[in-house]
Structure 1
């Protein structure tokens, strides 16, 4: 007999108040599912001040402190993860991993030992898609394959799943969802009011970048593309929102230092704003005129979903099966080849100098989110998957 209300343990690499794209999407999904599912969260954390056993939004959260400072520290972290997983997974029906890493092998082994169903959400092409995992070796791929079901956030994952030799029927494409009430276009006069509150210029167009300062997100390319628009006559400012320093290995503090040096050389520092962290990123979307995201690897970028829902025209790297599943070039945004700096500068100039184009792309972007990427739609798909998995009708 299947339960009327599935019990699901969400497993993430970071969870609020620590931030990651997967963690933010996991939290949004939990909220959207509401009382249809009984959730708990198992997450790793790097801040020793955070409680091991906690509640976030009324949901139990179990944290495992991790540190890469030494081999001994990593060994103790693995022991803590084993104990925490046994405790957290013992009373649930499904273990739902958001992403796949070395720690995931431990979680999957314990979940299987306890007789739990396992779902892996694939979050980043080139990192945790099936083909990338197969290339990491037999043991890792065997662990990966033990999942009952895979969720790919964009069509590219389905192709890579097949390329890795896995049955097509074991993967479901469910895109990340976006909260259309939180992320919405600004009301008349709201953009200027928010800018004043945030200390941003009211009399200039604002180009926005949101993301970790990592080499894959390319904040340095965003800066140089913006600098390439200076001769266009468009008065603009650049706002970079994202962590510049962190224990997480993806973040490289040298990128922020380099951008600051280049801004000083170009004498544009007064037009550059860097925001380390915010819990109200929606205000920055409503304050901005254009979003730029020149990243080289994504699964389905939350930033682009949020910006499009906010009615922002987006200039994004063309990543086949990922960003072109979100944006139709020239209709709901602009796509550019990754690392083509002159191309990004030209496209950004086009957006900054054509208010009609910005309005048209932004309006179509919002319609796209309303039609296909709302949280009610994506949460309903997850609830249906949980029930089908427990009923034995998938996998």
Structure 2
């Protein structure tokens, strides 16, 4: 989410838009948004729900009132909860879930989350989804909204060669230069499915002797995953140079349990790397035509994941062909500039403002 917001900020400020980002202090979003040209205002909030929601909503109201924006664009469930409760439709509001909160939970909590989203839609001028699959998930949950779908996008990328990228990483010093290397980039948490990948890796490592796996990212599951990791698995931690990891990889895997449309597969394909992903929200929409059969596996199915990874590791010429096709596909259809232009067009529709010759102002 932080990456998506930062990319939007950069594009909007170049168009002369005043962008104010409200977010917790000290995180990656506050740093990246400021670097991209936004004014950053501290909105003190916890990641999880709890009794502090009422105070967070009051703080959101005061922040928005002080900024006095033309449009409020809220990202993810927690900000969507606080801002929409605070505003209740008084300012044009765009809500972007980045995967629905009710997919992450079960039982009573999921039922309450679905009920809230159905209720809050009346205070939302547009619910902005990053894939048609995400929109359909909302509709199936009973959310009646004014929908917009704008696919995630990524910048055009020029990466170094595989050998150069591997040589530049101290973590890969123990990995033979020609060893098959699989990379997974994502927060170490239940959503991203690394536990399933480690289960699958035991089979992959047996079938492809010498293959290595690198998990790039950090998160609440790191200790548990480290304890469960079989041989030839490395933990790189959080990285600001994920493009170098994509460049070093032969194959990129993201075994998510749910998504709206993940950035990792798009970033990897922009770097010319084939991907194996689970068939969750947005995955089919982001893959090049003809690659679904080799690259999509059911979520939670370690055996299917192991089979797909093993098959592609065994066919280097096919991987190279698929990687180049993926690079061209992402450049043509998932350019971040197109994403930003579509979001700006959505703001103008809400404000009934033509494409500006000068500048106009919006709050993020």
TM-score (norm 2): 0.83
Give the match for residue 6 of structure 1: none
Judging by fraction of residues, say which structure has more helix: 2
Give the match for residue 185 of structure 2: 210
Matched, 1:195 2:166: yes
Runs of 5+ in structure 2 lacking a partner? 355-364
Matched, 1:159 2:136: yes
Q: Say which structure, 1 or 2, has more relative contact order (CA 8 Å, 6+ apart).
A: 2
Aligned ranges 1:1-395 → 2 under 5 Å: 22-36=1-15, 37-45=17-25, 55-67=34-46, 77-88=56-67, 90=68, 92-101=69-78, 103-112=79-88, 115-125=90-100, 127=102, 136=113, 138=115, 141-164=118-141, 170-181=146-157, 184=158, 186-187=159-160, 190-199=161-170, 200=172, 201=175, 202-244=177-219, 251-259=220-228, 262-263=229-230, 268=231, 271-319=232-280, 322-327=282-287, 331=291, 334-391=295-352
Q: Could you tell me how far 1:157 is from its partner in structure 2? A: 2.7
Runs of 4+ in 1 over 4 A off after TM superposition: 49-52, 67-79, 132-135, 137-140, 164-168
Tell me the SS of whatever aligns to 2:43.
strand
Runs of 5+ in structure 1 lacking a partner? 1-21, 245-250
Between the aligned partners of 1:68 and 1:340, the Cα distance in structure 2 is 29
Tell me the SS of whatever aligns to 2:191.
coil
Shift in CA distance, 157/140, structure 1 to aligned 2, threshold 3 Å: closer
TM-score (norm 1): 0.77
Shift in CA distance, 125/325, structure 1 to aligned 2, threshold 3 Å: farther
Let me know the Cα RMSD of the aligned residues: 3.2
Q: Could you tell me how far 1:110 is from its partner in structure 2? A: 3.5
Q: Could you tell me how far 1:381 is from its partner in structure 2? A: 0.8
How many residue pairs get matched? 343
Between the aligned partners of 1:302 and 1:214, the Cα distance in structure 2 is 16
Shift in CA distance, 178/157, structure 1 to aligned 2, threshold 3 Å: same
Between the aligned partners of 1:80 and 1:135, the Cα distance in structure 2 is 23
